[in-house]
C-alpha cells in the first residue's frame, strides 16, 4: 500500500490548531510514514485573524527545520490559506506547496464562497494553480453542491479529506466527498491531519477508495494530480541517506 503523497497536514507547530510541540509533530510524521505516506506537506493555517507575520514565519520555519531530518519521510512546507481580502494584495508565490506550482486554500467553513473564487483567481493570475481543500465540509457547498462543480469547472483541483471518506465528519460530508470522487470533480485525497487524535493517515481511505473506485484510485493519493513524482522523491531521499 502506498507510497502516498499527502498535501495537507498541520504537523509543524505554528500557533494554530495543529501540532503543539515538536514532539507531537514528530509523532504525527512518523505515524504517517508507518501508514504509507512518503511525502508529507506541512501546511500551517493562514487565517484572516492569524496571518504570516515575519516573526511567525521565522518560528514555524525553525520548527520545520527541526522536524524535517527526523520525520521518517520527506517533509515539505506549504500553507493552507483561508480566503481573506488582504491576501488578494499579496504575491501567492509566498505560499506555494514546496516543489510545486500549487497553492492550498480552503472554502471557508461558514458563509458564502465568493472570496474563495476571488482568491483562486488571484492565485491563477500569478501563474500558480489553486488546490481547494475539503469543500465537502463547508457550509456553502453543503447548502449547494453545485459550488464544487463550479470550482472544478474552472480547472481548479479539489481535495477531499480522508476523514470525510471514513465518516469522521458525519454522513453529509462523507456522502458529498464520495460523490465528488465518483463524479471526477475531486482528484486529490489528503489527510488534513492535525493532532495525534486526528493523525495524518491515508491508508484507510485508500482501501475504501480502491474498493469503490478500483485500482485507478491510487491517482487520488500518489501525488500525480499535483505534479509530485513520489518515486523520484524516494530515489533522491535514498541517495541523500547514502551520502550522509
Q: CATH number for the domain including 37?
A: 3.20.20.140
Residue 149 lies in a domain: yes
Mean pLDDT of 95-120: 97
% the chain with pLDDT above 70: 95
CB of 202 closer than 8 Å to CB of 37 = yes
C-alpha span between 72 and 171 (Å, rounded): 34
Beta strand ranges found along the chain (DSSP E): 4-6, 37-42, 45-46, 74-77, 80-81, 102-106, 129-133, 157-161, 186-190
C-alpha span between 101 and 234 (Å, rounded): 20
Q: Which band of pLDDT confidence, cut at 50, 70 and 90, is reported for residue 187?
A: very high
Residue 61 lies in a domain: yes
Structure pTM?
0.94
C-alpha span between 193 and 201 (Å, rounded): 7
Q: Is the pLDDT of residue 243 over 80?
A: no
Q: Is the pLDDT of residue 51 over 60?
A: yes
% the chain with pLDDT above 90: 92
Q: Is the pLDDT of residue 184 over 50?
A: yes
Q: Is the pLDDT of residue 239 over 80?
A: no
Q: Which of 168, 158, 22 is nearest to 102 (CA)?
A: 158
Q: Is the pLDDT of residue 237 over 50?
A: no
Q: Which band of pLDDT confidence, cut at 50, 70 and 90, is reported for residue 233?
A: low
Place of cell 505516506: 37
Residue 226 lies in a domain: no
Residue 16 lies in a domain: yes
CB of 50 closer than 8 Å to CB of 17 = no
Q: Is the pLDDT of residue 14 over 80?
A: yes
Structurally, the chain folds into a number of domains equal to 1
Residue 68 lies in a domain: yes
pLDDT of residue 234: 53
**Residue 58: which domain range?**
4-214
Q: Which band of pLDDT confidence, cut at 50, 70 and 90, is reported for residue 2?
A: confident
Beta strand ranges found along 74-118 (DSSP E): 74-77, 80-81, 102-106
Residue 207 lies in a domain: yes
Residue 220 lies in a domain: no
Residue 232 lies in a domain: no
Q: Which band of pLDDT confidence, cut at 50, 70 and 90, is reported for residue 62?
A: very high
Q: Is the pLDDT of residue 144 over 60?
A: yes
Place of cell 493562514: 46
Collect all residues with Cβ–Cβ distance below 8 Å to 192 and sequence separation of at least 6: 8, 9, 10, 133, 134, 161, 162, 163
Amino acid at each position: 500500500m502506498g507510497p502516498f503523497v499527502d498535501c495537507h497536514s498541520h504537523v509543524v507547530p505554528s500557533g494554530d490548531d495543529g501540532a503543539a510541540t515538536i514532539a507531537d509533530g514528530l509523532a504525527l510524521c512518523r505515524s504517517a510514514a508507518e501508514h504509507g505516506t512518503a511525502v508529507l506537506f506541512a501546511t500551517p493555517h493562514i487565517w484572516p485573524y492569524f496571518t504570516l507575520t515575519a516573526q511567525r514565519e521565522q518560528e514555524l520555519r525553525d520548527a520545520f527545520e527541526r522536524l524535517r531530518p527526523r520525520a521518517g519521510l520527506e517533509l515539505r512546507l506549504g500553507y493552507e490559506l483561508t480566503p481573506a481580502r488582504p491576501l488578494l494584495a499579496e504575491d501567492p508565490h509566498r505560499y506555494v506547496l514546496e516543489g510545486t506550482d500549487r497553492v492550498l486554500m480552503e472554502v471557508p467553513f461558514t458563509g458564502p464562497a465568493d472570496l474563495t473564487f476571488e482568491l483562486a483567481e488571484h492565485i491563477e493570475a500569478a501563474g500558480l494553480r489553486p488546490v481547494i481543500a475539503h469543500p465537502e465540509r463547508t457550509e456553502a457547498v453543503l447548502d449547494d453542491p453545485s459550488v464544487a462543480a463550479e470550482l472544478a469547472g474552472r480547472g481548479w483541483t479539489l481535495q477531499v479529506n480522508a476523514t470525510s471518506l471514513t465518516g469522521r465528519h458525519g454522513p453529509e460530508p462523507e456522502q458529498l466527498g464520495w460523490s465528488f470522487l465518483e463524479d471526477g470533480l475531486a482528484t486529490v485525497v489528503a489527510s488534513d491531519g492535525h493532532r495525534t487524535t486526528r493523525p495524518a493517515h491515508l491508508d484507510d481511505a485508500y482501501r475504501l477508495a480502491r474498493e469503490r473506485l478500483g485500482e485507478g484510485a491510487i491517482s487520488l493519493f500518489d501525488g500525480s494530480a499535483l505534479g509530485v513524482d513520489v518515486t523520484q522523491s524516494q530515489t533522491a531521499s535514498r541517495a541523500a541517506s547514502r551520502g550522509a
